[in-house]
């Protein structure tokens, strides 16, 4: 796959935090996690609902490479500001489990993705709804209607299936891709970003990986490694601004309980704040966290389950790793996303890298 000709923050010498990134500096550094995108990008000019222009898509996170339905993972979520929706979180909170992929898309396509996710899971697991429980997909959304014909229903089942089929480990595409195709962040082109950290402690070596879909923030709020970059770059503003949202997915191979994962998810919000975000009233900020090594097998009939659990005494480095990963994932989004012209000529400009690096240099970064 040919990626955009932009470079990630760390490749340009910007080293955020002090923990070491994983091999790919990606959520896929957590063993078994795979990511896939389906991008929908066609048309130009005036909006004609149902015809375009379309700037949207689907991103899927497959949390491990085994049986997603039967090998359920410990999971939790945290809602920083709730002007949005994420399906499946009620059951996740009740059960402490993730029972399938995590899907990201635009606000008005949640229903289409929900139907497609069910179709895919029913095909994969024939006993669902017959001898087994029903399936509740986990889908988080951001509003891309500033650039996209969101009323047009352009996300179809075929796109969901394509995203799942394309899911892979290793380096993943970032920026204006998949669910991030039509997103704007800090009045710059937003979208998908990812990062990871390796934590070495007395309890063992663990990885924390993060994927974000950025559609949030105002230009003057933007901080990059603590530098108020946004205040100095007020030109080339996107032609249409809304308060927006962000979806954050946190994966770790540390054996955290649902309580521990909820605490980890809250630290993702601290990493987000380090980029200048304030969780505005109109923002939908949803964080989902899961552990790949704390599985509850649906087929296990034991009356008492014995599961590994990291002692809270050793959790602080994971908190640090999560905050750092989120901060860098957001910045990677901005560094990788390219200028996009959407419906009605609305423009979301890319972050000017040369100007940004010059500002960072002034502050010793």
Mind listing the pLDDT tens digit for each residue in 130-146? 999 999 999 999 999 99
Supply the mean pLDDT for the chain: 96
- Summarize the confidence of residues 301-327 as an average pLDDT: 96
Q: For the chain, give the number of residues.
A: 365
- Which CATH number does 10-362 carry? 3.60.70.12
Res. 14 pLDDT band, cuts 50 70 90: very high
Residue 235 has pLDDT above 80, yes or no: no
Asked whether the beta carbons of 178 and 313 are under 8 A apart, the reply is no
Which residues, listed in sequence order, are joined to residue 312 by a DSSP beta bridge?
none
- Summarize the confidence of residues 109-117 as an average pLDDT: 99
Alpha-carbon distance 326 to 336, whole Å?
Answer: 15
Residue-level pLDDT at 5: 79
- Residues 141-166 have pLDDT tens digits of 999 999 999 999 999 999 999 999 99
- Residues 86-98 have pLDDT tens digits of 999 999 999 999 9
Residue-level pLDDT at 1: 44
Closest CA to 184 of 327, 57, 339: 339
Residue-level pLDDT at 239: 58
Measure CA of the first residue to CA of the last residue in the chain; give whole Å: 32
Query: Comparing 262 with 306, which gets the higher pLDDT?
Result: 262
pTM score, two decimals?
A: 0.96
User: Checking DSSP bridges between strand 34-42 and strand 102-106, what pairing results, if any?
Assistant: unpaired
Domain ranges of the chain: 10-362
User: Checking DSSP bridges between strand 34-42 and strand 188-189, what pairing results, if any?
Assistant: unpaired
Residue 332 has pLDDT above 70, yes or no: yes
Residue 49 has pLDDT above 70, yes or no: yes
% residues pLDDT > 70 (the chain)? 97
CA distances (Å), origin 112, targets 119, 151, 157, 260, 352:
11, 12, 7, 32, 35
Residue-level pLDDT at 299: 93
Closest CA to 142 of 217, 89, 238, 76: 217
- Residues 161-218 have pLDDT tens digits of 999 999 999 999 999 999 999 999 999 999 999 999 999 988 899 999 999 999 999 9
Residue-level pLDDT at 241: 66
Q: Which residues are catalytic?
A: 245, 283, 285
Closest CA to 181 of 84, 239, 106: 106
- Residues 251-280 have pLDDT tens digits of 999 999 999 999 999 999 999 999 999 999
Instruction: Determine phi and psi for 14, rounding to 5 degrees.
Output: -95, 105
Unique residue bearing structure tokens 């950290």: 197
Tokens of 219: 């230009």
- Residues 53-83 have pLDDT tens digits of 999 999 999 999 999 999 999 999 999 999 9
Which residues, including other chains, have CB under 8 Å from residue 125's CB and lie 6 or more apart? 69, 70, 132, 135
Unique residue bearing structure tokens 């389906």: 38
């Amino acid at each position: 796959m040919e990626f955009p000709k932009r470079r990630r923050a760390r490749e340009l010498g910007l080293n955020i935090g002090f923990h070491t990134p994983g091999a790919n500096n990606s959520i896929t550094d957590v063993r078994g996690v795979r990511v896939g995108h389906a991008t929908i990008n066609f048309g130009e000019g005036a909006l004609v609902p149902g015809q375009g222009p379309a700037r949207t898509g689907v991103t899927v996170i497959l949390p491990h490479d085994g049986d997603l339905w039967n090998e359920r993972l410990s999971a939790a979520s945290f809602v920083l500001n709730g002007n949005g929706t994420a399906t499946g979180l009620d059951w996740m909170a009740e059960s402490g489990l993730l029972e399938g992929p995590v899907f990201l898309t635009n606000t008005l396509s949640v229903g289409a993705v929900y139907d497609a996710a069910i179709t895919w899971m029913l095909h994969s697991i024939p006993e669902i709804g017959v001898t087994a429980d029903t399936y509740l997909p986990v889908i988080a959304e951001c509003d891309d209607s500033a650039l996209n014909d969101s009323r047009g229903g352009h996300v179809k089942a075929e796109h969901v299936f394509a995203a799942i089929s394309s899911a892979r480990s290793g380096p993943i595409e970032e920026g204006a891709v998949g669910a991030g195709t039509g997103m704007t962040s800090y009045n710059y082109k937003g979208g998908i970003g990812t990062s990871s950290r390796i934590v070495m402690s007395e309890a063992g070596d663990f990885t924390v990986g993060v994927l974000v879909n950025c559609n949030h923030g105002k230009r003057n709020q933007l901080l990059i490694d603590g530098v108020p970059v946004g205040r100095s770059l007020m030109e080339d503003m996107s032609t249409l601004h809304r308060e927006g949202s962000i979806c954050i997915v946190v994966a770790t191979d540390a054996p955290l309980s649902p309580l521990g994962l909820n605490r980890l998810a809250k630290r993702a919000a601290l990493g987000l704040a380090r980029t200048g975000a304030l969780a505005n009233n109109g923002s939908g900020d949803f964080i989902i966290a899961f552990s790949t090594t704390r599985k509850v097998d649906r087929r296990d009939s034991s009356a008492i389950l014995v599961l590994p659990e990291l002692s809270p005494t050793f959790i602080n480095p994971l908190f640090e790793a999560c905050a750092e990963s989120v901060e860098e994932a957001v910045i990677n989004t901005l560094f990788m996303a390219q200028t996009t012209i959407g419906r009605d000529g609305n423009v979301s400009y890319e972050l000017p890298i040369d100007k940004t690096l010059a500002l960072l240099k002034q502050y010793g970064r």
